[in-house]
Amino acid sequence: MPGSRASVFGEVEDFEAALSVHGTAGLLIAGRGQFRARLTQVGLDRLRLAAVEEALPRIAFITVPAGMVLVSFPIDGGPSPVWAGSEIGSGEMITFGPGQRLHARTVGPCHWGAIQLPDQQLVGYGRALSGSGFLVPPAARWQPQPAAMRTLRDLHRAAIRMAEARARALTDLQAARGLEQQLLEALIECLSEEAERETAAGRRHRDILAGFEDLLAAQPFLRMPEVCAALGVSERLLGEACKKHWGMGPSSYRRLLGMQQVHRALRSGTEGTGSVSEVARRHGFASPGRFATGYQAVYGELPSTTLRRASNPGVAELNLGRRRIKFS
């Protein structure tokens, strides 16, 4: 049964949870400001569509679901995420096969679309339409003919707009099947062009960073030489991979990730009633003063303010000059 949902998010955690169906395992905000995102999702019989608008820079760690292919492309000529270190132009698209692990980062506001579908159905249908040589590599960038890309974007946009308008067309099974058939044919045409396959170095970078994520989850406080030894790489190679895929070095990434974990803990109260310094130490920050300074630079307030607000969820404070007014 076709279905759709359009959501606006003001909290990173909620947005991250909504993207998990598309394989997002973690979302790290890399810029300062008020978080805002919009996500429209359309579920058809074989295809899952998504349209995403984001405002802040972020880094997402993604594992493509088993048996699925992920396709992504920019919408309305706007910037798209940098997928596995590759920038995608307005007339291009990128694909990743089942189980592929990668990072996708944004550097500012962006608007992008995605399609997911079963890999066996894609290959079977592609070979039926375009010949036995049809194949989708594990990771590849494509530059389809402009007319084919335009058709795919137009059909994707039509489905998204109907979902946002809650049009009856998507609840009509016959109409939904017709739209899905057109989308699938347009996608096959786009993927019938020659692909720019991922290089061995690009795949190596992805594997290194996926291993780094595994290490961060299992042993978050390893020193960098120990991290490199566990991964079997030099510090230089790790740094190159991080810079290309994350836009920052491994120490900066780990520090920002720890900061986000502290922020979430302080807001949710999951670390109990301990002090800010105790919570910070649990996440690897040994110097309370330096941590507070860095935290304020990222979140615009001291960690003690975050904790105090979480401890009094029913009270909002407004400062007017020297006067403090409380609303219960």
* 283-296: average pLDDT: 90
Residue pLDDT, tens place only, 233-287: 999 999 999 999 999 999 999 999 999 999 999 988 654 556 888 899 988 898 8
E strand or H helix at 327: strand 323-327
- For 98, the token pair is 């089942």
Q: On the CB side of 50, how many CA atoms lie within 13 Å of its CA?
A: 23
Q: What is the reported pTM? A: 0.89
Nearest-angstrom CA–CA distance, 147 and 145? 6
Is CATH 1.10.10.60 the right assignment for the domain spanning 249-328? Answer: yes
> DSSP assignment, residue 26?
E
- Residue spans of the domains in the chain: they are 3-198, 199-234, 249-328
CATH topology identical between 3-198 and 249-328: no
Look up the CATH number of domain 3-198: 2.60.120.10
In terms of phi and psi (left: phi > 0; alpha: psi -120 to 50; beta: otherwise), the region of 196 is: beta
Residue pLDDT, tens place only, 27-84: 999 998 889 999 999 999 999 999 999 999 999 999 999 999 999 999 987 789 999 9
